[in-house]
Amino acid sequence: AVSGRRGTMVAAYQGRPTMWAAAPADGGRAIAVEVDHSQQARTIAGLDRSILWSSAPAIGTTALVGAFAVTRVTRRLHTTARVARRISAGDLDARVDDPPTRDPERQRDEVAAVAAALDSMAASLQGKLLSEQRFTADVAHELRTPLTGLHAAAELLPPGRPTELVRDRVAALRTLTEDLLEISRLDSGRERLEADTEELGALVRRVVRASGTDTEVVVVRDARVETDRRRLERVLGNLVANAHRHGRAPVLLTVDGPVVTVRDHGDGYPAYLVDHGPQRFRTEGGSKGHGLGLTIALGQAEVLGARLAFTNAADGGAVATLRLGADGE
């Protein structure tokens, strides 16, 4: 105030809140006035307490509502992600079926839009897959009759190299047709087991004898398994045939309890097969075959309730591992 400026301040004076006001006066002096500020201080403190007590329930309610809303959205997102993983694994029957997507009149949020798009994509993929499966089955069925006629006609041809080539191609076409029919039956999901108890060691030896190959059989630990003999022989026969066709000798078939391993010493399985499993009509460049043998083996293994895995050995070669349930497990 002495310097020519006016001002106010609140401070404790003699044990009570006091407001001071100062202003410049003539002759380089200042005038200061004090006013008791106790009442105003009590009023302000009361307002502070009222605001604090009224805001606490509001903050708590807002937090609870926010937590509920976030939890609900998060749960729906987790459900959508889980269904997406199931679809990626091949379960095209999986659907999110988010409640907001069921009522077309109901407003959809972003989560519902994503769920609806995922369900639509799964339905579209399933429709295309079913259409492909029906086409494959229809083609295979339609080919059976003319192939039977071709086979009969080939048997009537005079002996010679051309006749052998014709018969070989007809036989290959018949095998392809039968494989396609088998795949269509597996795709239908209506295959039924005819289970019986089998000695695994004896069964694999029969498979090797029937294959006519020089596959080496090693029984580390024999086991009795409850299985469908015909389907298991089909799985092992395809694995052995694939090892000889696409790998290199020696081919080793090992039985260790309910686990059967078929290994060759070739270049190993392609990366896509190890990562995603066999795919029909997909083979690595120039190799013979149609990619159906391992597809059938995997499908029949699933019908048996077994697990079939494809890996590559560290020192080279393809390894197919079939895990069955031992009798009594």
Cα separation of 176 and 115, whole Å? 40
Q: How do residues 34-46 score in pLDDT, each as one tens digit?
A: 888 888 888 888 8
Amino acid at 57: P
Cα separation of 41 and 52, whole Å? 17
Q: How do residues 6-29 score in pLDDT, each as one tens digit?
A: 788 888 877 888 888 888 877 777
Give the residue ranges of DSSP H helices in 89-228: 99-102, 110-155, 161-188, 200-211
Establish how many alpha carbons lie within 13 A of residue 247's alpha carbon, considering only the half-sphere containing its beta carbon: 26
How high is the pLDDT of residue 234? 92
Cα separation of 285 and 199, whole Å? 39
Domain spanning 112-188 has what CATH number?
Answer: 1.10.287.130
Q: Confirm whether pTM is higher than 0.85.
A: no
Selection from 175, 178, 179, 239 nearest residue 204 by Cα: 239
**N-terminal to C-terminal alpha carbon distance within the chain:** 98
Q: How do residues 144-189 score in pLDDT, each as one tens digit?
A: 788 888 888 888 888 888 888 888 888 888 878 787 887 777 777 7
Return the structure tokens found at 3: 């310097």
Fold of 196-323: Heat Shock Protein 90 (3.30.565)
Within 10 Å of residue 322's Cβ, how many Cβ atoms? Answer: 21
Cβ burial of 310 (10 Å; 0-12, 13-18, 19+) is buried
Q: How do residues 229-285 score in pLDDT, each as one tens digit?
A: 999 999 999 999 999 988 898 999 999 999 999 999 998 898 888 888 887 766 665
Judge whether 112-188 and 196-323 match in fold: no
Give whole-number Cα distances, 316 to 30, 242, 248, 268, 308, in Å: 101, 16, 10, 6, 19
φ/ψ region of 305 (left if φ > 0, alpha if ψ in -120 to 50, else beta) reads left
Domain ranges of the chain: 7-82, 112-188, 196-323
How high is the pLDDT of residue 326? 61
Cα separation of 324 and 203, whole Å? 13
**Share of residues in the chain with pLDDT > 90 (%):** 22
Cα separation of 321 and 225, whole Å? 16
CB 215 within 8 A of CB 253: yes
